[in-house]
Structure 1
């Protein structure tokens, strides 16, 4: 006999004696090596003439970009960020006049070769009026590690539910609901933070150093990936004995 969906009894969210429900949480925590490292490079320029300051900034920025590009496939991405050139005012009698112009441009580089990373950061920091920050370690957004964590959380939920059912002398009947609680709950900034004792390095000119600085030894920071799911199952009715 067909059942009219308009007159069928509503399913109870808490199960029934004939179909008990079981709710569990599955969790996963993976600790893995990073896949990429990001560094930030800020180039500065200063001059008494606005055009000269701008030309100097352009030249220094081109030097930085050309240096980064020499590392070929080790560099996965280069992005130019904020640019500014602004006057520095000074008091002159009763008014103000422009004393100098300050310019800066910011670039972000993303590398996959961590050996090249140490050499590149050293060479960039050795440039005049150049500031280097980082590295920030991270996994790619589409990294299979995130999928591994989610799948492991689901398997853990199923295993936990089976153990509860077995404790009652019964087994699972069906999956009712699977809810994602934020599988990729990696640290904000997703980059893992600073490592290798290097946060920033900056060169402000002076006499040229004819000896090249040795590459920085940067130790990649391990990444923590978390996944959590809520799962609800129905069980075969257990035979509860006193």
Structure 2
């Protein structure tokens, strides 16, 4: 009885790294006040937060979201370690969709008393086309690798057997920059911002069937010494 000859296969990992312009910017805004009692501290936080909200509304549709992420009230302390007046704070995360409006908003928020501003953190929207582009580029890389390996054995790809998403991630590592954006506000104050570009990594694992290797090729070339 004859035994079926196993079909040769090749499994590869395709990868792609795209460097793209950012689509959004995140800002962190913290209102922090100290008062003689907790109720007064909270009232002052609310008043300062109203100022933050007004600045955000003034930015119009440039702001996509403004979300409260943390509120805290805790006992303060003096330099000598003794108990101090209570401290209250509220943190807001702001996502700006128009990058040319980031500078104006930073300046407007930075002018407010008892307000700390951090950022911007540049990034991509969750549904950014860049993610799909990275995945497709990883597939192209996998096919190229597989064909190269098959050719090294004197064979060719004959069928796609399996595709597995090996994962994809977006980063905010600096990899070049967009053109510097010069932004001005009333009073002559301006910020020159250079949005950092984002890296998007795509990876895929693919298994192919291939034709029978050329025994002369792989025995004399691939495994030589």
TM-score of the pair, normalised by structure 1:
0.75
CA deviation after TM superposition for structure 1 residue 74, in Å: 0.6
- 1:32 corresponds to which of 4, 17, 20: 20
In structure 1, how many angstroms separate the alpha carbons of the residues matched to 2:150 and 2:35? 76
Contact 2:63 2:97 in 1 (8 A): yes
Q: Which runs of 4+ in 1 moved over 4 A?
A: none
C-alpha change, 1:141 and 1:123, in structure 2 (3 Å) is same
In structure 2, how many angstroms separate the alpha carbons of the residues matched to 1:49 and 1:168? 79
Contact 1:53 1:103 in 2 (8 A): yes
C-alpha change, 1:149 and 1:27, in structure 2 (3 Å) is same
CA deviation after TM superposition for structure 1 residue 61, in Å: 0.4
After superposition, the C-alpha distances for 1:73-101 in whole angstroms (9 at most, x for unaligned) are 110110012112334478xxxxx9x7533
Aligned match of 1:73: 61
CA deviation after TM superposition for structure 1 residue 138, in Å: 1.0
Contact 1:18 1:237 in 2 (8 A): no
SS in 2 for 1:182: strand
SS in 1 for 2:101: helix
Contact 2:38 2:88 in 1 (8 A): no
Gaps of 5+ in 2: 178-185, 221-225
C-alpha change, 1:239 and 1:17, in structure 2 (3 Å) is farther
- 1:175 corresponds to which of 160, 163, 168: 160
Contact 1:28 1:227 in 2 (8 A): yes
In structure 1, how many angstroms separate the alpha carbons of the residues matched to 2:155 and 2:84? 84
Contact 1:36 1:112 in 2 (8 A): yes
Structure 2 matches for 1:99-138, cutoff 5 A?
A: 100-138=85-123
Aligned match of 2:29: 41
After superposition, the C-alpha distances for 1:166-185 in whole angstroms (9 at most, x for unaligned) are 3434321111222222122x
In structure 1, how many angstroms separate the alpha carbons of the residues matched to 2:6 and 2:34? 80
In structure 1, how many angstroms separate the alpha carbons of the residues matched to 2:20 and 2:157? 33
C-alpha change, 1:213 and 1:79, in structure 2 (3 Å) is farther
Gaps of 5+ in 1: 1-8, 10-15, 91-95, 197-210
In structure 2, how many angstroms separate the alpha carbons of the residues matched to 1:183 and 1:48? 50
- 1:162 corresponds to which of 134, 143, 147: 147
Aligned match of 1:151: 136
- 2:51 corresponds to which of 60, 63, 73: 63
